[in-house]
Amino acid sequence: MGSPMNNVFLSLVTFTILLDSLVQGDLKVLNFTQKLDHSGLNDEMSNLTFQQRLLVDDSQWGGAGAPIFVLFGGENGQTFSPKEYGILGLSATEFKAMLVNIQHRFYGDSVPLGSIDLAMADERVRKFLATDQTLEDYLVIIQSLKANYSANNSPVIVVGMGYAGALAIWFRLKYPQITIGALASSTPLMYYGNSTPGDGYCSIVSKDFQDYDSQCYESIRKSKKLYDDIASQPDGLAHLSHIFNTCRPLQSADDITYLLAQVYSFTVQYDDVDQKELNTLCHFINNEGGSIQGYVSALYEAMEAGEGCFDGTFLEVNSPFEPPSNLTTAWAWQKCTELIFPIGCTDTTMLPAKPFDMNQFTKSCQKRFGIVPQPYTPISIFKARNIEESLIGFGGNIIFSNGLRDPYCSGGILKDLSKTIVAITAEKGNYAWDLYTLDYGYDPKWLKEKREEELKIFRHWINHFHHINMGHRFSCCAFIIYFLEVIILYLCT
């Protein structure tokens, strides 16, 4: 079963952007001329614009009044047809909805100065890679789109996964008049609030392996010793570099441990519903009876790279082992400036111990970008002591969906916060299960049922919106009738 998430993984590995091959049929691929700076400050970069990419599928749209679902792009910069994302595809059919997928600024094709390297190298430009500017991008595009389609009476629902899910929530809180509700899929919102145990992510990776295959889990737990033993021999590191086919000579055996830790994390985060990736990985490890060959094979298999060398920079996962790399420059900037995830591992999991170290993190950000991380920036927008409080205080119509197999659920909101801020959790779900590609013949019952729960809530939001709108029109009518009656009464007397 294919999911856009797996495609993301694939494309990162092969460095292929699949986008242009997907532009076909009902899909409109548009560029929107976007202001780099929405703040209104008139500095030297204020008049700069860039082309922001959006995909529009209006093939099932019911016309003015029918809803618009907007998928906010995140750090992956991928824009697959919005219909590819399960719950969106279902919504298009169910509600005659228009589907829109907007790329995030500084990712994919939506890059100022036409090149991410140029944009990130220029501190006058990169400072505009910020969440508040991003929310404004989405606002401007939604308004422009509604105007172009004469869709002022169309309710808008915003959707995002991971970090983009947080954007969807912030957007809903900031612009309740623009969107009737938000769905945040697999968004580890509580990591921002610093109230999640640092090793939450790693402990779920570890638990997923343990639940699935305890033999495989035990082997991985012990594997660090294998690499250390080889590395301690004369020319040991060169040998390790050779058998793992690394792009650069290894500096220490930890490089391999961390590379594989990323592979394990990635596997459980983005696995299919039937855990096919996990199955394959453990198959290789178990087959070699815990010897080093098993890990080499597992790495080759996971990276789907028959040729070519391995490098931490191939992966872009949010585990503590994420390497600094060119690929992730924009993401590294966002993490350094606003989106600080204090994710670490302790020695209680199968992954190598690597606690989150704020001092080290700060140093790395200073060295790289000359800035000091500001942990509470996105939260301070809402001026509340904690996230839950601010959500309950002035939020509504929000769905948090999480898969309990997704390591990110450790920072997710897993319980209803109010009548209209609800949590939908799937025990067997991985990252963004509700957005998996639809596969009618194959999707398990729980997946269909859980998606149905979301559709039911959407239906409620949409009906409520139309109800209020009708009521409004009704009261206008009533007023006009009353007015006419008064005139008639006046003329007759």
Residues that bind ligand NAG (CB under 6 A): 30-32, 42, 44, 46-47, 51, 109, 117, 120-121, 141, 144-145, 148, 326, 329
Radius of gyration of the chain (CA): 25
- Residue nearer to ligand NAG on the CB measure, 35 or 451: 35
Smallest distance, ligand NAG to C-beta of residue 147, A = 7
Q: Which is nearer to ligand NAG, 117 or 416 (CB)?
A: 117
Q: What gap in Å lies between CA 151 and CA 66, rounded to an integer?
A: 8
80 residue type, one letter: F
One-letter amino acid at 372 equals V
- Which is nearer to ligand NAG, 145 or 253 (by Cβ)? 145
Sequence-ordered list of residues with C-beta below 8 angstroms from that of 354, at least 6 positions apart, any chain: 258, 320, 321, 344, 345
**Tokens 């970090």 -> residue:** 163
Q: What's the closest the beta carbon of residue 316 comes to ligand NAG, in angstroms?
A: 15
432: its two tokens? 């963004």
Task: Tell how far CA 64 is from the center of its chain.
Answer: 30
Supply the minimum distance, in Å, between the C-beta of residue 352 and ligand NAG: 24
- The helix/strand/coil state of 429 is coil
Distance CA 472, CA 286 (A): 65
For the bound state, the minimum distance from the C-beta of residue 44 to ligand NAG, rounded and expressed in Å, comes to 5
Nearest-approach distance from CB 10 to ligand NAG, in angstroms: 22
- Least Å from the CB of residue 45 to ligand NAG: 8
Q: How far is the CB of 49 from ligand NAG (least distance, A)?
A: 11
* Nearer Cβ to ligand NAG (19/161): 19
Nearer to ligand NAG by Cβ, of 368 and 448: the residue is: 368
Give the separation between CA 192 and CA 390, rounded to whole angstroms.
Answer: 13
Q: Between 41 and 489, whose beta carbon lies closer to ligand NAG?
A: 41
DSSP assignment of 302-357 equals HHT-SSS-B-GGG----STTPPP-GGGHHHHHHHHHT------B-TTSSSPPB---
Three-state DSSP class for residue 101: strand
The whole-angstrom separation of Cα 447 and Cα 304 is 27
Q: Identify which of residues 151 and 457 has a Cβ nearer to ligand NAG in the complex.
A: 151
**Which are the contacts of 184, defined by CB distance < 8 A and separation ≥ 6?**
160, 161, 165, 166, 168, 169, 398, 399, 400, 401
Nearer to ligand NAG, 117 or 229 (CB): 117
Contact 202, 269 (CB under 8 A): no
State in angstroms the smallest separation of the CB of 53 from ligand NAG: 7
Least separation, in Å, of the C-beta of 48 and ligand NAG?
9
> Quick one: 51 or 286, whose CB is closer to ligand NAG?
51
- Residue with Cβ nearer ligand NAG (258 or 270): 258
Measured from the CB atom, the residue of 44 and 307 that comes closer to ligand NAG is: 44
Structure tokens belonging to residue 3:
């999911």
Residue type present at position 400: F
105/101 Cα distance (integer angstroms): 13
* Nearest residue to 207 via CA among 446, 404, 6: 404
Q: How far is the CB of 148 from ligand NAG (least distance, A)?
A: 4
Q: CB of 489: closest distance to ligand NAG in angstroms?
A: 47
Amino acid found at 139: L
CA distances from 82 to 17, 89, 168, 219, 450 (A): 16, 7, 16, 40, 19
